[in-house]
Amino acid sequence: MDKLEHSECTAMILPVKDALEVLGGKWKLQVIIALSFGPKRFREIAREVTGITDKMLSKELKNLELNQLVKRTVYDAFPPVVEYDLTTHGQSLHKLIGELKEWGDLHRKVVLGR
């Protein structure tokens, strides 16, 4: 990283904090990864994300919708069917998650030696 002025430092920190905010917390990442394989219903996501309560899952899904990472589609059936899927913007997280995984693996090797 070349010599950055103080203002450039701060301009750097804000977007990085935004990205960490979106992925941070106990459940967001697992919900995003669960949705990385196509649209799912609430019950399917709840099953894949072990340990999450219905209340927490609906809160996380609302947050992800607000952040335009997930879209919610209601199908006109009886009873109505609701599906959740990653938006194109949500799918743009795949590359970042891959980079985080790669660095996390490296970090484990360096710190734990395995």
Interaction of residue 43 with a copy of itself, rule CB under 8 A: no
Q: Which residues contact 108 (CB under 8 A, 6 or more apart)?
A: 114
Nearer to a copy of itself, 16 or 77 (CB): 16
Q: Which residues contact 89 (CB under 8 A, 6 or more apart)?
A: 68, 69
Nearer to a copy of itself, 54 or 105 (CB): 105
Interaction of residue 33 with a copy of itself, rule CB under 8 A: yes
- With CB under 8 A, what is the number of residues at the site for a copy of itself? 46
Note whether 86 and 70 are within 8 A (CB): yes
Most distant CA atoms of the chain, gap in Å: 61
- Site residues (CB under 8 A) for a copy of itself? 1, 3-4, 6, 9, 12-20, 22-24, 29-30, 33-34, 36-37, 48, 67-68, 89, 92-108, 110-111
